[in-house]
Amino acid sequence: MIKAPTSWLQRDAAAVWHPFTQHGQWLDDEPLVVDRAEGPWIYDLDGNRYLDGVSSLWVTTFGHRTPEINRAITDQLAELDHFTFLGATHRPGIELAEELLRRAPEGDRRLSKVFFAGDGSSAVEAAMKMAYQYSVQTGRARQKFVRLDQAYHGDTLGAVSVGGIDLFHATYQPLLLETLEVGSPGVRRPGQSAGDRATECVGELDAVMAEHGGEVCAIVVEPMVQGAAGMLTYDPLFLRAARRVADRYGALLIGDEVATGIGRTGRMWAVEHADVVPDILVCGKGLTGGCLPLSAAMVTDEVYQAFLGAPSQSRTFFHGHTYTANPPAAAAAVANLRLMTEHDLVDRAARLGDRLGELLKPVADHDGVTEVRRLGTMTGIDVRPMGERTGARVCRAALRHGVWIRPLGDTVILMPPLALSDVEVEFLVEAVAAALEEVY
């Protein structure tokens, strides 16, 4: 008889396959078993508390278990748990679309319709299918996408096709769509300025589009920060150029704000740093405040109008998911967005980012640190490799000092909840500094 596992970690190892996790060493890393959470703090089974330094997976807005958001969910469950959004509608979905459009970036075009999805990757898939079908229904039938090196847009096949991180994406190359790559404006040579690197990449984009512009339905970018590549920040001139180039060749610009949106960069949307409005803006992660999965693609009226027509014309966007616009998730998002406005959270996030930057100056001078990058609260700390998995060692050391953070290779990531107090952000940075001392 097989002996039943006893501890929660043993039970996990016996039954669970975790994402982005090498189970060959899963238990060796002494993974945290989270029992409860409140505000920016998480608690393990023994009652030890840790500051959540990465907002779970970049999703927590105010903190965990925000009372107003929880109440919106329970109130909604008392009225309507779920009903399809395919050919029917409901109040939370309508209200959320209205709230998003009120907060949409403003500029030379206006985002006027909202299409809901389940998570960031599925919203990117929807945006890509929209862009292709838009090109077909406007008489151009373009099949190619322009993507950036070091990009990450999710893990479904379309999203992987426009990604550019070999570690995550190379295995699936034979399955992917044909795309055109432009260098990352966030990858700079030593001593090279952000502006000079962005100018180089604009030149690459110009060259690609001069040769293939008539085949491209969309240019896909993470505005201002390539998150999964290690918080690679770049000059806004590249984003402005991408907008101009897309217009010149009749391609759409897709702004993937799944990670950067909802206040993370100190603006509601990262595209606002460049005064740019994409044709399709994708959001997710922090949309519900970090408690339920939900994402959306906001589109211009020009894009939306291309899908209208008689049923016999087959212009319908035949795409959707079972739990699209789930009412409790939509209610959570409405509560989160309204609470953000009430508490001026985007401006608070900008101030939090500035404070984080000040506190990290001594960390940037540490012998074990090669570079610190930050926009708003999105922060990447490159650490000097010392054997294998140095970034993971720093994060495990930080846990011993009361902070939960995760690495991307040898880049230590910080992306705390946006409502973090001064005392809490100081605690976060002190723990990172102590962890660096412990490792180096």
Express each pLDDT in 310-360 by its tens digit.
999 999 999 999 999 999 999 999 999 999 999 999 999 999 999 999 999
Label residue 320 exposed, middle or buried (CB < 10 Å: 0-12, 13-18, 19+): middle
255: three-class secondary structure by DSSP: strand
Closest Cα to residue 142, out of 61, 217, 91, 230?
A: 217
Output the CA–CA distances (angstroms, integers) from residue 231 to 90, 135, 271, 412, in the order listed: 37, 32, 16, 10
Q: Each residue of 234-256: pLDDT tens digit? A: 999 999 999 999 999 999 999 99
Radius of gyration for the chain, computed over Cα atoms and rounded to the nearest angstrom: 22
pLDDT in tens, 88-138: 999 999 999 999 999 999 998 899 999 999 999 999 999 999 999 999 999
Calculate the average pLDDT of the chain: 97
Q: Which residue numbers belong to the known binding site?
A: 120-121, 152, 256, 285, 320-322, 406
Instruction: Mention every residue, 6+ apart, whose C-beta is less than 8 A from residue 120.
Output: 153, 154, 256, 258, 259, 282, 284, 285, 295
Pairing, β 252-256 against β 216-221: parallel
pLDDT, mean of residues 204-220: 98
**Arithmetic mean of pLDDT, 414-427:** 98
**pLDDT tens profile 129-181:** 999 999 999 999 999 999 999 999 999 999 999 999 999 999 999 999 999 99
Q: Residues 8-48: pLDDT tens digits?
A: 999 999 999 999 999 998 888 889 999 999 999 999 999 99
Average pLDDT of 417-421? 98
Rounded-to-integer distance, Cα 424 and Cα 220, Å:
36
366-397 tens-digit pLDDT? 999 999 999 999 999 999 999 889 999 999 99
pTM for the model? 0.96
pLDDT band at residue 1 under the 50/70/90 scheme = very low
pLDDT band of 4, cuts 50, 70, 90: low
Binding residues for substrate: 152, 285, 320, 406
**Cα 359 from Cα 429, distance rounded (Å):** 7
**pLDDT value at 5 more than 70:** no
- How far is the C-alpha of 5 from the C-alpha of 231, rounded, in Å? 39
> Under DSSP, is residue 283 helix (H, G, I), strand (E, B) or coil?
strand
Q: Cite the annotated binding site for pyridoxal 5'-phosphate by residue number.
A: 120-121, 256, 321-322
pLDDT in tens, 282-297: 999 999 999 999 999 9
What is the pLDDT, as a whole number, of residue 25? 87
The pLDDT value recorded for residue 30 is 85
d(CA 398, CA 417): 17
pLDDT score of 6: 65
Domains of the chain: 11-65+344-439 (3.90.1150.10), 71-343 (3.40.640.10)
